[in-house]
Chain A
């Protein structure tokens, strides 16, 4: 019955699917359109998770390369943007974990310039508080406040239901507040 209802329910029109179909048909320009459309949002996710502009830019290229190579795996049950954000979130968290181990071996003096550069672009308190959070918490804040996704979209992007996404977002926000208040004004 549910299958019949699902078939009868009019699917929300996703203009991105048209571009996906065109790309899969061989139109490389269609992928360029998707790339330019979502570059900022994917970069925001990567930057919010990695807390480094260069690494974020590199991660964005990685994410779009993955999408470019595996777009045929997009099953069209969800929106393309949701699928893309999910790829971006997973890849960014993966990179953040990799960089965490790598940065342990880097001298503090070598790491300082990058942080100073980021500090010029972002509120220092927000920067410090965000850096103190776990990548999973940072992802939720970035998706909600930077990319302004709805709870449903966030849930789809991180692979959970809406209530779980709401609870996780609340906890991440509370942790951010604690870290934010610890930083002197």
Chain B
């Protein structure tokens, strides 16, 4: 099949659509090699036009409008609601899956805070014996150099002796016994006979006074116990360790600070 130039093809279509005999003759004289093609085009267009005309001339049917309503599109709000339902379903499914995979830990129950004190087992109450409160302000003030203790020191217990004669060791033992003190005498305690004449003196003051006179020192041991050690000759009489008496201002050589001097124990000169 020979190739037809587009211009010639267009010309053939034009002639075929308006088949004028003069135009056909002119085309055939100019393009004699396309004479057969022109005839084909004319036949083809004629057949095409005739096919359209061959539509059976039937009676025009009466027009009856069809009221078949097209399928209604769902409302937009329906779409939105459907989207919400889908979203809720998706969230629910996700939550259920998460809960199944990781079950929630049991959370501790929060209860009201109990402000009342915890109940303790009942304790048998026993009557407590209390010492009568000492209201004497002098006794409440602790002496200098003496550690204040809750329990009264037996050394501070007042002991009274009225003109009793006894050897020194026995006199010391009597004082300690009266005050409730355990006394231990070191060897070498003088055996002088002394007269105990003290009234209103504490055991500490009595022992100190005797120590100054007869040459021994009182060393406090554990609570309620003392050790009596005789003093050396060059040392002279000593004082009880840890007992710092204030220096008397009125009578420096007195050593009693202006207090009324109790009756002195006189050594037994008869011996």
Contact = CB atoms under 8 A, between A and B. Distances in A.
Interface stretch (A8-16, A63-71, A79-87, A106-114): A63-71
A145 B40 contact: no
B63 A40 contact: no
Contacts of A121: 54-56
Interface string A8-40: 000000000000000000000001100110011
Given A126-B48, A145-B45, A61 B55 contact: no
Contacts, number: 66
B52 A146 contact: yes
Interface residues on B, range: 20 to 34
A136 interface: no
B48 A64 contact: no
Determine which residue in A35, A68, A126, A170 has the highest number of CB atoms from chain B within 10 A of its CB, and name it: A126
A39 B59 CA distance: 10
B43 to A, nearest CB: 9
A44 B65 CA distance: 20
Contacts of B56: 53, 121
Contacts of B50: 123, 126
A123 B55 contact: no
B37 to A, nearest CB: 10
A37 B45 CA distance: 26
A132 interface: no
Given A36-B60, A57-B61, A176 B55 contact: no
A170 B6 CA distance: 11
B235 to A, nearest CB: 138
B65 A69 contact: yes
A47 B66 CA distance: 20
A68 B47 contact: no
In the A-B complex, the 9 residue pairs with the closest CB atoms = A146-B52, A126-B51, A122-B51, A123-B47, A65-B66, A35-B63, A68-B65, A126-B47, A145-B48
Interface of A: 31-32, 35-36, 39-40, 43-44, 47-48, 53, 57, 61-62, 64-65, 68-69, 121-123, 125-127, 130, 141-142, 145-147, 170, 173-174, 176-177, 180-181
